[in-house]
Amino acid sequence: MTYAGAGARTSICQDRKSDDPRVQDEEGDVPSDELLVVINSFGLLFAILNSFTLGLRLEVGHILGHFFQNWRAAVRVLLINFVILPALLIGFAAIAPVDSDIKIGFCIVALAAGAPFAPAITRLARGDVAMSTSLFLVMVVVTVVLVPVVLPIAVSAVVPDVQRIGIWSIAWPLLAFVILPLLVGCLMRLRYEEVVASWVRPLLVVQLTCLVLYVNLFIFAFTSLFAEVWWGAYVAAIAVPVLGIALGSLISRRSTATRHASIITTAQRSITGAIVVTIFNYTQPLANVSVTVINTIGIVILLVLAIEWGRARPRKKSEPAPTAAPPTPEGAGHMP
């Protein structure tokens, strides 16, 4: 197992050698290998626990049944998530005047769909949680199949000078740290449902703690880089959820719950898959910074929208019915 430790340390020094000579002389600008290992360990622990906990909670048969029951809307969501939105984001990366490593981050975000927090945010918005969960499960599988094949092609097209990474080199970490824990969780739920039911809440707390530590330690380690990428990464961080909201809203105009589920599932990208890919494959710090910025700001935007949508729906339901006409007084309308 290899982490983005010394590789990331060497990459940042090489990338910034001409711009900031302090990197060669001062180690304070570059995080230590030990700190990078700690950061990546928290990221991997989050990925493993997130997938495992989802497996403990998912009723696979019911979820797949819901997916095929609403297959028309589901196919449209998959088309948007794996064709239209990636094409727009990768096209933006190709023409945007940003660092090549940030372009790699755009490609990773574009292709990594299946956000682990989409069902929870959909519930907050009072959307169709069953649809969001079924889409999430299918997207995770499609991401693991699609990313190892398409991501190296997309990165080579956008950044021709970058070294081409093999399919298996990208596939095995996704299989080991995303799919395998998910399958183990599903099997344990089927075999020991009553026992594992009490595990879910503590595991949710642990995984969220790992994610918070991962993000905050990463920001601490690369504070200067977060300041440097203000244009590219932060513009994309707003553009990704905005595009997702616009495209997701086209899925269903009749059902508000379905529309909210498709919007949230499309606008939020897979932070789990992106973390695994940036740890094992594309270890450039700027790529990881852009992925972190896009996912974090995207989640915040969707949380705000979900809270507003959740408040709006009960108001609509509680609107008073039209006042009935007052009863006709006795004798009124009758001839004397």
Residue 236 to residue 230: CA distance in whole angstroms: 10
CATH code of the domain covering residue 164: 1.20.1530.20
Mind listing the pLDDT tens digit for each residue in 145-155? Answer: 999 999 999 99
Q: Is residue 330 part of a domain?
A: no
Angle between helices 60-69 and 71-79 (to 10 degrees): 90
Q: Can you tell me the distance from the alpha carbon of 295 to that of 109, in angstroms, rounded to the nearest whole number?
A: 8
For the chain, the average pLDDT equals 80
Backbone angles phi, psi at 85, to 5 degrees: -65, -45
pLDDT tens for each residue of 276-300: 999 999 988 888 888 888 888 888 8
In this predicted structure, the answer to whether residue 18 has a pLDDT above a threshold of 90 is no
pLDDT at 230: 60
- Tell me whether residue 9 is in a domain: no
**Domain span holding position 183:** 31-312
CA 242 to chain centre: 14
199 falls within a domain: yes
For residue 217, tell me if it sits in a domain: yes
Q: What is the pLDDT of residue 233?
A: 66
Q: Is residue 23 part of a domain?
A: no
Tell me the percentage of the chain whose pLDDT exceeds 70.
81
Highest-confidence segment of 19-28, 100-109, 254-263:
100-109
For the chain, the domain total comes to: 1
Do the Cβ atoms of 44 and 174 come closer than 8 Å? no
Q: Specify if 169 maps to a domain.
A: yes
- The confidence score (pLDDT) of residue 322 equals 44
Between 331 and 274, the more confident residue is 274
**Cα–Cα distance, 3 to 21 (Å, whole number):** 26
**pLDDT tens-digit profile of 235-265?**
777 888 888 888 888 776 667 888 888 888 8
